[in-house]
Structure 1
Amino acid sequence: MAETAPTKTSKSGKKPSDSGAAVASRVKNQSLGKARDAKQDEFYTQLSDIERELKHYKKYFKNKVVYCNCDDPRVSNFFHYFSYNFDRLGLKKLVTTCYKSQHRDLFSQHDSEQAIHLAYCGGNAGTGVPDPEEIGIQYLKGDGDFRSEESLALLKEADIVVTNPPFSLFREYIAQLIQYDKKFLVVGNQNAISYKEIFNHIIENRMWLGNRSGDMAFQVPDHYEERETRFWVDENGQKWRSLGNACWFTNLDIAKRHEELILYKEYNPRDYPAYVNYDAIEVGKTSDIPANYPGAMGVPVTFLDKYNPDQFEILGSSRTLGQPMSQVAERGSYAQGGPRFYLANGDGTYQRLYDRIVIKNRMLKAS
């Protein structure tokens, strides 16, 4: 074997080829790899869940380019759905890309570590789901990261993005869609609502929850470790996990978003105590929102599943609005932690609550 000269390094320790772009690319690769490996972010959405949600958006897809940028067409149910319904939806084009395989034991059975790209323009009417191999799978030069130059070029050509992105990169993923002014419908975790960036998008009506939230089951790769809860293996040996707080996020308007929430409770100070560190009342359940209270109310995060922007205004959340308890009560009289609202227990101590969203009823005028 011929010897090669050692690579020179600069005083900074970087190789001469380590341009800013190259370093940034490696950082992206590492973060996406961590998202998929350490975070175990590969949750494969069931076709039935896709069908149940997508039926509410049919009018948006006519003559549009749909981009699924976290989907291997050989195994993706998003590709299955859109290719099978290509003509019924009136699509112009379907594009899918996926991050390169990092594990030989992934249930998708990748035989290559190259990222792939597929573009489908129809022509398979009445014959079922087209075979990706027959359409012509193309290999990307890069790794298929949704932030790569190749993926961004495809994103710019797309009208609507529909996929299940890595949950641990959700903030960055949504930020990219907002930046490029794309319509989208993506699977996520309701915990993402607590992210400052995501919540700000919701307040500004740049995104909202889709039609369905709650329990969803996902196929996961074989290398995922078993868990005591919300995990099972089916009769075919396929591993599954379920999430009780899965949901769809979108900026496509749907009828549910404008359904009036029927309110039947009446306000009284005993059932609706005021917080000690913010001027609002506590409403423990969305169904308990009083019909006659015009002021600020703290409601659970799950309220967003019923949120009608014509009926309610979102003012903020307990993470940003609550006054620090150190300015309100003596240390030791309350449970410490991140920003939250507190209620008085009546004995000099205070109860720390879960995250709350602060709303007002637009139909009522504050006195």
Structure 2
Amino acid sequence: MLGNSILNKAKHSHNTDEWYTDYKTVKEEVSHYAKHFEGKVVFCNCDDPYESAFAKYFLKYFNILKLKKLICTSYKGSRLVENLNIFDNNNIKANNKSAYVLIVKNISADFEEPIRDEEVLSYLNEKGNVKKLNGDGDFRSEECIKYLKESDIVVTNPPFSKFTILFSLLVKYNKKYLLIGNQNAITYKNVFPLIKKGKAWIGYRFGDMSFKVPNDTPPRKTRFWIDDNGQKWRSLGNAMWLTNLDNERKHKDLILTSFYCPKKHPKYDNYDAINVSKVAEIPMNYTGIMGVPITFLKYHNEDQFEIIGEANHGSDNEFDLFKPIVKGKETFKRILIKNKKIVEKN
């Protein structure tokens, strides 16, 4: 059944590199960016074309989005193709000893409605649509870089352990992107500077996200379940979509209801800024620098706030200004901001 997107071929199922995104998650987010795809080449470079939720979504909506081309590449060793009765362009049954590429230039179907799942499967079965790659399908390979250069927008969920490597490639080749990642990536030295400068931002889903996991995944007490079809699931509370595609969310002001109070907003021991424990407690009338939770970025509007830097270890990158300490105790990492729209208390 179509509906997964591979994150990587990890050896152990507790590794989040081998968690798979379902179709609902992809559709829910990507549908917000429809206007960006007209006439574009979309590249999903971590996605098995036979089972990827991304491949399925863009095949179903190819004509509606008016895509110019869709390219999806997979990793050699994918466990998603093991039980599929599908054949490549050489009439060889798909197997996990090879990597594959799906290239779509047109779909003869209704331009008004998404094509049905049966039509997607039929298209994948049609000889020549899915081809065997020469290499292992790694997005860093020369073969996949060639496809990257050709593309306009990269939409995928890279292996979490290789997120920054892919991100650096997208920046190097000046590509638009829509990526699933772990929120920890926000403070990475090659990611945070772009967020600070307004060249990257958060998508719509920021927080809890569910993933399908392999059958050999051991059960656990929390964030694990098995659905009615026997599919195992895990969830992450700190997942996110990261993008440089404009969206409506980033232009909405965060409604502030709190006022500055020294007891509620203590100053850091080692930096002239106040610590704000919750986004809901950001004071509307404070003119100085505030350290706010990373979750603030879900609501960030650069017309309302300026990002000054971050407070993490004090050494992660040029904008990591200090280690956050309040009354002698180290606290959680913070994003440092200033309010551009100060409201005075009556």
TM-score, length-scaled by structure 2: 0.84
Give 1:74's match in structure 2, choosing from 40, 43, 50: 50
Q: Report the counterpart of residue 91 of structure 1 in structure 2.
A: 67
Q: Report the counterpart of residue 245 of structure 1 in structure 2.
A: 238
Between structure 1 and structure 2, the one with the greater Rg is: 1
Q: CA deviation at 1:103?
A: 4.9
Q: 1:342 to 1:115 in 2, by over 3 A?
A: same
Pairs within 5 Å for 1:96-175: 96-101=72-77, 103=79, 111-126=95-110, 127-128=115-116, 129-130=119-120, 131-134=123-126, 136-175=129-168
TM-score, length-scaled by structure 1: 0.80
Q: CA deviation at 1:247?
A: 1.0
Q: CA deviation at 1:56?
A: 1.2
Structure 1: distance between partners of 2:256 and 2:84: 48
Structure 2: distance between partners of 1:260 and 1:283: 18
Give 1:265's match in structure 2, choosing from 258, 264, 281: 258
| Counterpart residue type for residue 326 of structure 2 | L
2:48 aligned with 1:56: no
Q: CA deviation at 1:36?
A: 7.5
| Counterpart residue type for residue 183 of structure 1 | K
Structure 2: distance between partners of 1:103 and 1:268: 55
Q: CA deviation at 1:105?
A: 9.0
User: CA-to-partner distance for each residue in 1:299-345, whole Å, 9 max, x for gaps?
Assistant: 001101011111111111112559xxxxxxxxxxxxxxxx631111x
Q: Once structures 1 and 2 are overlaid, which stretch shifts more, 222-231 or 41-50?
A: 222-231
Give me the identity figure in percent.
46
Q: 1:240 to 1:33 in 2, by over 3 A?
A: closer
| Gaps in structure 1 of 5+ consecutive residues | 1-31, 323-338, 345-349
Give 1:233's match in structure 2, choosing from 226, 232, 244: 226
User: CA-to-partner distance for each residue in 1:162-190, whole Å, 9 max, x for gaps?
Assistant: 01110011111111111100000011111
2:336 aligned with 1:358: yes
Q: Once structures 1 and 2 are overlaid, which stretch shifts more, 153-162 or 117-126?
A: 117-126
The SS at the match of 1:56 is: helix
Pairs within 5 Å for 1:307-326: 307-319=300-312, 321=314
2:340 aligned with 1:340: no
| Counterpart residue type for residue 301 of structure 1 | I
Structure 2: distance between partners of 1:61 and 1:168: 28
The SS at the match of 1:244 is: strand
Q: 1:225 to 1:321 in 2, by over 3 A?
A: same
Q: CA deviation at 1:45?
A: 1.2
Is contact 2:253-2:304 (8 Å) kept? yes
Pairs within 5 Å for 1:251-290: 251-290=244-283
Q: CA deviation at 1:136?
A: 2.2
| RMSD (Å), alpha carbons | 2.3
Structure 1: distance between partners of 2:229 and 2:263: 55
| Gaps in structure 2 of 5+ consecutive residues | 1-7, 86-93, 316-321
The SS at the match of 1:155 is: helix
Q: Once structures 1 and 2 are overlaid, which stretch shifts more, 90-99 or 121-130?
A: 121-130
Is contact 1:230-1:242 (8 Å) kept? yes
The SS at the match of 2:236 is: strand
Structure 2: distance between partners of 1:55 and 1:107: 30
What is the aligned length? Answer: 313
Q: Once structures 1 and 2 are overlaid, which stretch shifts more, 217-226 or 354-363?
A: 217-226
Structure 1: distance between partners of 2:154 and 2:278: 33
Q: 1:149 to 1:192 in 2, by over 3 A?
A: same
Q: CA deviation at 1:228?
A: 2.7
Q: Report the counterpart of residue 5 of structure 1 in structure 2.
A: none
The SS at the match of 2:51 is: coil
Structure 2: distance between partners of 1:300 and 1:343: 14
The SS at the match of 1:196 is: coil
| Counterpart residue type for residue 231 of structure 1 | F
